């Protein structure tokens, strides 16, 4: 084969491989950002959190640290993680979370044992009258304690309705 043709073909292959990688990454980003990409079910959200590695890869809620002392009912110590869309809403003081925002909070007992993971996931059109949040609570092994439009979660968090149902910091 002519050397020039060979180099040309090699370049084509490299371009194909790289554009494949870039496309794949683009898809990953979309899955995290859109409410439709991750179905609002306990199982799908848990799979997604595990796949994302939320507790190693996500940022903590701004101005919180690992294992900060927490008020009841969630646990004596808490670590609260947020995905990118949620983080932007908090730092940008946007007043509300966008579609696809996820908050995942590790709830620890007094002796710092992980007891539950409490999750809020914003899904546009899911439950407009209560802020479009999907609620879920898991045992550390992923067993679902509660999920969906959970009355108990909504009743208490509704005290923060003007703050898009969250307690940890002001969104405005």
Q: Which residues bind ligand HEC (CB under 6 A)?
A: 70-71, 73-74, 78, 80, 103, 105, 118-120, 135-137, 146, 150, 152-153, 156-157, 166-168
Q: Which is nearer to ligand HEC, 40 or 103 (CB)?
A: 103
Q: Which is nearer to ligand HEC, 24 or 166 (CB)?
A: 166
d(CA 95, CA 162): 8
Q: Which is nearer to ligand HEC, 124 or 155 (CB)?
A: 155
d(CA 70, CA 118): 13
Task: Tell the smallest beta-carbon distance from residue 21 to ligand HEC (Å).
Answer: 34
Task: Tell the smallest beta-carbon distance from residue 89 to ligand HEC (Å).
Answer: 12
Q: Which is nearer to ligand HEC, 53 or 69 (CB)?
A: 69
d(CA 133, CA 146): 14
d(CA 120, CA 81): 11
**H or E segment and range at residue 146:** strand 144-148
Q: Which is nearer to ligand HEC, 15 or 156 (CB)?
A: 156
- The answer to whether the CB of 42 falls within 8 A of the CB of 50 is no
Task: Tell the smallest beta-carbon distance from residue 128 to ligand HEC (Å).
Answer: 18
Helices (H), the chain: 3-33, 42-52, 54-57, 84-91, 151-157
Task: Tell the smallest beta-carbon distance from residue 135 to ligand HEC (Å).
Answer: 4
Task: Tell the smallest beta-carbon distance from residue 36 to ligand HEC (Å).
Answer: 21
> Euclidean distance between the first and final Cα of the chain, in Å?
66
Bin 59: left if φ > 0, else alpha if -120 < ψ < 50, else beta: beta
């Amino acid at each position: 084969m002519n050397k020039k043709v060979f180099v040309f073909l090699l370049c084509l292959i490299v371009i194909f491989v790289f554009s494949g990688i870039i496309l794949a990454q683009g898809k990953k980003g979309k899955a995290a950002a859109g409410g439709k990409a991750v179905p609002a079910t306990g199982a799908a959200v848990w799979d997604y959190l595990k796949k994302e590695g939320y507790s190693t890869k996500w940022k903590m809620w701004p101005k919180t640290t690992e294992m900060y002392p927490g008020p009841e009912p969630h646990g004596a110590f808490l670590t609260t993680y947020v995905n990118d869309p949620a983080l932007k809403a908090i730092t940008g003081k946007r007043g509300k979370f966008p579609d696809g925002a996820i908050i995942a909070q590790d709830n620890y007992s007094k002796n710092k044992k992980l007891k539950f993971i409490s999750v809020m996931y914003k899904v546009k059109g899911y439950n407009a009258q209560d802020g479009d949040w999907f609620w879920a609570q898991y045992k550390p092994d992923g067993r679902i304690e509660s999920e969906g439009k959970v009355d108990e979660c909504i009743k208490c968090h509704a005290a923060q309705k003007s703050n898009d149902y969250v307690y940890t910091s002001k969104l405005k």
